Amino acid sequence: MAEYRHLDYMLLDEKFSEEELMVRDAVRTWTSERFIPLIMDHFEAGTFPTELTPELAELGVFGPTIPEEYGGAGLNSVSYGLICQELERGDSGLRSFVSVQGSLVMYPIYAFGSEEQKREWLPQLASGKAIGCFGLTEPDAGSNPGGMLTNAKRDGGDWILNGRKMWITNGTISDVAIVWAQTEDGIRGFCIPTNLPGFSAPEQKHKWSLRASITSELVLEDVRVPDSMRMPETTSLRNPLMCLTQARYGIAWGAIGAANSVFDEVLGYTKERIVFDKPLAGYQIPQAKLAEMATQITMGQMLALQLGRLKDEGKMTPAMVNMAKRNNVHVALNIARTGRDMLGANGISLEYQTGRHMCNLESVYTYEGTHDIHTLAIGNELTGIPAFR
């Protein structure tokens, strides 16, 4: 495969610090050398290359913004964004694996967990010795997580958990699960090992998107947990939504990585592919498509970078993340669909990256808040009138 050339039309590389570029380049090289050669077979087989977990840990991509005393790398948010960008250039399933571990498992333990929970789990998760999952969505409560039916009832000093979660990334391979449940006092989060009696996580098969990612149900049947497994700082729906803000931030960057992978492949292809005696890239219609792709990628990069700088300055709001996730995933999906067409029949072959990115981005468009939910969140921010219900 040709060497990857990242589009930097507006010279944004000048805006990153030396440390940020070092982190980005290390992940970029790893993705090219260690991950991309494997992805076609894993996508086809519907498996994730879990054997790469120690290497990912060594790269420092699990919870990189968590302080070093808990095993994290203490990096800034822009570095985390660049990590997501480079991983998703490989595959959305790879970025998902890392997003869930860092933003949806390590972040809530760090933000809402007890000191014991932090000491027990964060170093294990950072080193990849433990894998985690985040159980919010249910069969009848996706966009509306406040409607969850999973519940936790007090029994002396313990809690009894019952319910079913669905579409949970990494569920089957997890050692620890963050489970959100209704209690008499509102929604609470629990941090539970997955080997407890009554807990199971059957894999959900037959996906045609995000195939190189494990997706599972979580089934909780009278799972008894001590109060020490409740995350003490969780008080309402606001807590899982705060986790989503962290993960959506990473997706806003990641989607641009996928779009860039497509753009690079399609640009190279159209220059080499001869149709009617000259390169496809020499015709106006493909050039118009390439110009639009490059423009959209560049605007997405600027949006992600500004979002990251605001996050590092403590000025990022959830509504800003709604806009960036919505825009960048939408743009990436459109670029992948257009790119798929421009590759002709090759566009449907897994020998090329583009078709796989296109299929994956359909999931990314839906998870972490669907496109329309983000539209309504921006509408709410602008008008002050919630139109969700």
* Residues identified as active-site: 368
Q: What's the rounded Cα separation, in Å, for the pair 65 and 68?
A: 9
Nearest alpha carbon to residue 312 among 64, 10, 58, 118: 64
Choose the one of ligand TGC, ligand FAD, none that binds residue 114, judging by a C-beta under 5 to 8 angstroms depending on kind.
none
Q: Using CB under 6 A as the criterion, what x/- string covers residues 180-219 for binding ligand TGC?
A: ----------------------------------------
CB of 165 to ligand FAD, least distance (A): 6
Q: Is 100 in the site for ligand FAD (CB under 6 A)?
A: yes
Three-class SS of the chain: CCCCCCCCCCCHHHHCCHHHHHHHHHHHHHHHHHHHHHHHHHHHHCCCCHHHHHHHHHHCCCCCCCCHHHCCCCCCHHHHHHHHHHHHHHCHHHHHHHHHHHHHHHHHHHHHCCHHHHHHHHHHHHCCCCCEEEECCECCECCCHHHCCCEEEEECCEEEEEEEEEEEECHHHCCEEEEEEEECCEEEEEEEECCCCCEECCECCCCCCCCCCCEEEEEEEEEEEEHHHECCCCCCCHHHHHHHHHHHHHHHHHHHHHHHHHHHHHHHHHHHCEECCEEHHHCHHHHHHHHHHHHHHHHHHHHHHHHHHHHHCCCCCHHHHHHHHHHHHHHHHHHHHHHHHHCHHHHHCCCCCHHHHHHHHHHHHHCCCCHHHHHHHHHHHHHCCCCCC
Identity of the residue, 265 or 368, whose beta carbon is nearer to ligand TGC in the bound complex:
368
CB of 368 to ligand TGC, least distance (A): 4
CB of 336 to ligand FAD, least distance (A): 16
Contacts (CB under 6 A) with ligand TGC, residues 156-185: 169
Q: Is 241 in the site for ligand TGC (CB under 6 A)?
A: yes
Q: What's the rounded Cα separation, in Å, for the pair 322 and 302?
A: 15
Contacts (CB under 6 A) with ligand FAD, residues 122-181: 134-137, 142-143, 167-169
Q: Is 46 in the site for ligand FAD (CB under 6 A)?
A: no
Q: Is 84 in the site for ligand TGC (CB under 6 A)?
A: no
Judged by CB under 6 A, the stretch of 14-22, 80-88, 157-165, 237-245 that binds ligand TGC is 237-245
Identity of the residue, 230 or 325, whose beta carbon is nearer to ligand TGC in the bound complex:
325
Identity of the residue, 142 or 268, whose beta carbon is nearer to ligand FAD in the bound complex:
142
Q: Is 136 in the site for ligand TGC (CB under 6 A)?
A: yes
Q: Is 146 in the site for ligand TGC (CB under 6 A)?
A: yes
Q: Using CB under 6 A as the criterion, what x/- string covers residues 346-375 for binding ligand TGC?
A: ---------------------xxx---x--
Find the length of the chain: 389
What sign results for the dihedral spanned by CA atoms 270, 273, 276, 279?
Answer: positive
CB of 247 to ligand TGC, least distance (A): 6
Choose the one of ligand FAD, ligand TGC, none that binds residue 231, judging by a C-beta under 5 to 8 angstroms depending on kind.
none
Choose the one of ligand FAD, ligand TGC, none that binds residue 366, judging by a C-beta under 5 to 8 angstroms depending on kind.
ligand FAD
CB of 7 to ligand FAD, least distance (A): 27
Residues near ligand TGC (CB under 6 A)? 96, 99-100, 134, 136-137, 143, 145-146, 169, 236-238, 241-242, 244-245, 247, 318, 367-369, 373, 377, 388
Residues near ligand FAD (CB under 6 A)? 100, 134-137, 142-143, 167-169, 210, 215, 363, 366-368, 370, 372-373, 376, 388
